């Protein structure tokens, strides 16, 4: 089942999409990657969801990826005596570590790291920025603040410190337990939330040890200061605009998005643009025009994937949301100006680029080329081709199902599992047969083949061949 587009769709599973037939319907509507959010639900729920994605994969006949999204150190307030309080602009409000339920003048913050990170005059954002406080006097276990904006606050709302690095590890004890479970379930990607420093990704990689791809969620402004080092240790990245939008000014978020997409494309790692893409479709069968334009902008920038969160996890119209996302992506990719605009977002010529990949990319411009075929063990050859954004589809041929599933996130890549090839003379036959079977190459057109010798060994491609699909079979 081939999609008529290169950009990919990530759909979040949840109460609205937990049944087997719903997951199959999402895949048929165009979802390529299914996100399992470990901020909600029990392990038994997640195990069921993952098993149902695997069943859907067999039903639709193409690899589907599972992305395990770890919760990370979400910092929340304690409780209020009556569950909710009213605040007044200009009033004093104390944050402290006293576990006694709070009132309109104070509340517990059970995270000592917060007080260690504070500075006089710093902003404290509560409830996704709906309440803003200004820090005055503070110590190791308290902070006296002034209410700058916001009128109401309730139990367990989130807390953010814009512009300040919080000395707290990105992997919590809960995350470690969830990670062990996710890896045991055979997930394809693991996303680490609230990454702030390269050491966060290094720790994740050390635990994962190649059993899944590792993805950095960029949600904290502190991560932007160490972006190069973080991306050097990441195999994919997510522009998580929700929390970024809390700590950054709204006008800064589009600039950061463009910066992150460019940085990921330069490195050749998949990049997902996420949060509020079709948010009105949580309760409406159609998106706003602004939302459609937002999704389209990510495609014009060359993002590998766009993500739906509550739209599919808890929304009233999950199938319609995926269908609409698919329609927007396909429409942008039919725009004659799309290749030029996408190329303008990646203007850097890489002198160290793989010479064969560059040659294949140039050869693919011929009108007689139907598709590119990359024989790959780890997926790296297919990702290098994807980085160059050829307009012809890339057929990734691998003996590893795990590799095929992981490549479901990559722009323009269709992955298929094939038997081990020992004779290089079989390359053309297998590539042409698979390209025709997948409908990626019209009869009589060329298939450009990238492979490496010895066959089956991870490493750089060192063979570029041209084969022709027969007019008749």
* Residue pLDDT, tens place only, 300-314: 999 999 999 999 999
Indicate if the pLDDT at residue 269 is higher than 70: yes
pLDDT given for residue 2 in this prediction = 66
Q: CA 43, 44, 50 angle in degrees (round to 5)?
A: 85
pLDDT given for residue 367 in this prediction = 77
| For range 41-55, the mean pLDDT | 97
Q: SS3 for 149?
A: strand
Where do we find the tokens 């009556």?
82
Count other Cβ atoms within 10 Å, centred on residue 181: 15
Short-list 448, 311, 323, CA closest to 374: 448
Indicate if the pLDDT at residue 353 is higher than 60: no
* Residue pLDDT, tens place only, 428-440: 999 999 999 999 9
Over pLDDT 70: what percentage of the chain?
Answer: 97
pLDDT given for residue 348 in this prediction = 60
Where do we find the tokens 């750089």?
460
Q: SS3 for 154?
A: strand
| For range 204-212, the mean pLDDT | 98
Residue of higher predicted confidence among 1 and 116: 116
pLDDT given for residue 347 in this prediction = 60
Indicate if the pLDDT at residue 6 is higher than 90: yes
The CA–CA distances, whole Å, from 446 to 25, 191, 438 equal: 34, 38, 15
The CA–CA distances, whole Å, from 37 to 192, 200, 291 equal: 11, 19, 23
Q: CA 6, 447, 301 angle in degrees (round to 5)?
A: 20
Q: What phi and psi values does residue 159 have, to the nearest 5 degrees?
A: -130, 135
| For range 93-111, the mean pLDDT | 96
Model-level pTM?
Answer: 0.92
Indicate if the pLDDT at residue 163 is higher than 90: no
| pLDDT tier for residue 345 given thresholds of 50, 70 and 90 | confident
- Per the CB < 8 A criterion, the answer to whether 448 and 364 are in contact is yes
What six digits make up the tokens of 392? Answer: 């012809």
Over pLDDT 90: what percentage of the chain?
Answer: 79
| pLDDT tier for residue 344 given thresholds of 50, 70 and 90 | confident
pLDDT given for residue 424 in this prediction = 83
Q: What is the C-alpha to C-alpha distance for residues 451 and 140, in angstroms, rounded to an integer?
A: 59
Indicate if the pLDDT at residue 455 is higher than 90: no
Indicate if the pLDDT at residue 398 is higher than 70: yes
Catalytic machinery residues: 35, 76, 217, 275
> Which strands make up the sheet holding 413-417, listed edge to edge?
413-417, 394-398, 369-375, 446-451, 463-468
Compute the mean pLDDT over every residue in the chain, rounded to the nearest whole number.
93
What six digits make up the tokens of 387? Answer: 């980085």
Q: What is the C-alpha to C-alpha distance for residues 195 and 269, in angstroms, rounded to an integer?
A: 17
- Per the CB < 8 A criterion, the answer to whether 308 and 29 are in contact is no
* Residue pLDDT, tens place only, 316-325: 999 999 999 9
* Residue pLDDT, tens place only, 129-155: 899 999 999 999 999 999 999 989 999
Residue 125 pairs in a beta bridge with 132, 160
Indicate if the pLDDT at residue 350 is higher than 60: no
Indicate if the pLDDT at residue 272 is higher than 90: yes
- Per the CB < 8 A criterion, the answer to whether 311 and 278 are in contact is yes
| For range 59-73, the mean pLDDT | 96
Highest mean pLDDT among 14-18, 356-360, 389-393: 14-18
Enclosing H/E stretch for 395: strand 394-398
The CA–CA distances, whole Å, from 288 to 275, 297, 445, 465 equal: 15, 14, 41, 47
pLDDT given for residue 473 in this prediction = 59
Q: Which domains does the chain have, with CATH numbers?
A: 8-73+170-336 (3.20.20.60), 84-160 (2.40.33.10), 355-468 (3.40.1380.20)
| pLDDT tier for residue 360 given thresholds of 50, 70 and 90 | confident
pLDDT given for residue 368 in this prediction = 86
Q: What is the C-alpha to C-alpha distance for residues 212 and 337, in angstroms, rounded to an integer?
A: 36
| pLDDT tier for residue 315 given thresholds of 50, 70 and 90 | very high
| For range 175-203, the mean pLDDT | 97
């Amino acid at each position: 089942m081939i999609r008529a587009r290169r950009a990919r769709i990530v759909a979040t599973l949840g109460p609205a999409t937990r049944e087997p037939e719903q997951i199959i319907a999402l895949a048929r509507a165009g979802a390529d990657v299914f996100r399992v959010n470990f901020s909600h639900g029990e392990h038994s729920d997640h195990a069921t969801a993952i098993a149902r994605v695997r069943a859907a994969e067999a039903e639709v006949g193409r690899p589907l990826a599972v992305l395990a999204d770890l919760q990370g150190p979400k910092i929340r307030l304690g409780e209020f005596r009556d569950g909710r309080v009213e605040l007044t602009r200009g009033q004093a409000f104390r944050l402290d570590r006293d576990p006694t339920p709070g009132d309109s003048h104070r509340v517990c913050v059970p995270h000592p790291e917060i007080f260690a990170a504070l500075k006089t005059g710093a902003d404290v954002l509560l409830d996704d920025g709906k309440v803003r406080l200004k820090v005055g006097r503070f110590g190791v276990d308290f902070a006296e603040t002034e209410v700058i904006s916001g009128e109401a606050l309730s139990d367990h709302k989130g807390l953010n410190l814009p512009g300040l690095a919080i000395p707290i590890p990105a992997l919590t004890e809960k995350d470690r337990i969830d990670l062990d479970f996710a890896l045991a379930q055979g997930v394809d990607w693991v996303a680490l939330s609230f990454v702030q420093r390269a050491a966060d990704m290094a720790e994740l990689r050390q635990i994962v040890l190649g059993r899944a791809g590792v993805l950095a969620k960029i949600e904290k402004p502190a991560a932007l200061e160490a972006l190069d080092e973080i991306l050097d240790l990441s195999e994919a990245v997510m522009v998580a605009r929700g929390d970024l939008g809390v700590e950054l000014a709204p006008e800064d978020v589009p600039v950061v998005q463009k910066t992150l997409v460019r940085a990921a494309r330069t490195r050749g790692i998949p990049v997902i643009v996420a949060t509020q893409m079709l948010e009105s479709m949580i309760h409406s069968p159609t998106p706003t025009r602004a939302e459609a334009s937002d999704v389209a902008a990510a495609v014009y920038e060359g993002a590998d994937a766009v993500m739906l969160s509550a739209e599919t996890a808890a929304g009233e119209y999950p199938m319609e949301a995926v269908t609409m996302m698919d329609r927007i992506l396909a429409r942008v990719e039919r725009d004659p100006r799309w290749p030029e605009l996408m190329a303008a977002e990646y203007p850097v010529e890489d002198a160290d680029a793989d010479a064969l990949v560059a040659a294949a990319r140039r050869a693919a411009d011929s009108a007689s080329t139907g598709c590119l075929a990359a024989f790959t063990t780890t997926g790296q050859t297919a990702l290098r081709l994807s980085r160059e954004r050829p307009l012809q589809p890339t057929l990734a041929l691998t003996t590893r199902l795990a590799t095929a599933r992981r490549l479901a996130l990559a722009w323009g890549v269709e992955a298929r599992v094939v038997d081990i090839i020992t004779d290089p003379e079989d390359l053309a036959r297998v590539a042409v047969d698979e390209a025709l079977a997948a409908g990626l190459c019209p009869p009589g057109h060329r298939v450009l083949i990238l492979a490496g010798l010895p066959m089956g060994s991870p490493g750089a491609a060192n063979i570029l061949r041209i084969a022709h699909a027969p007019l008749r079979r």
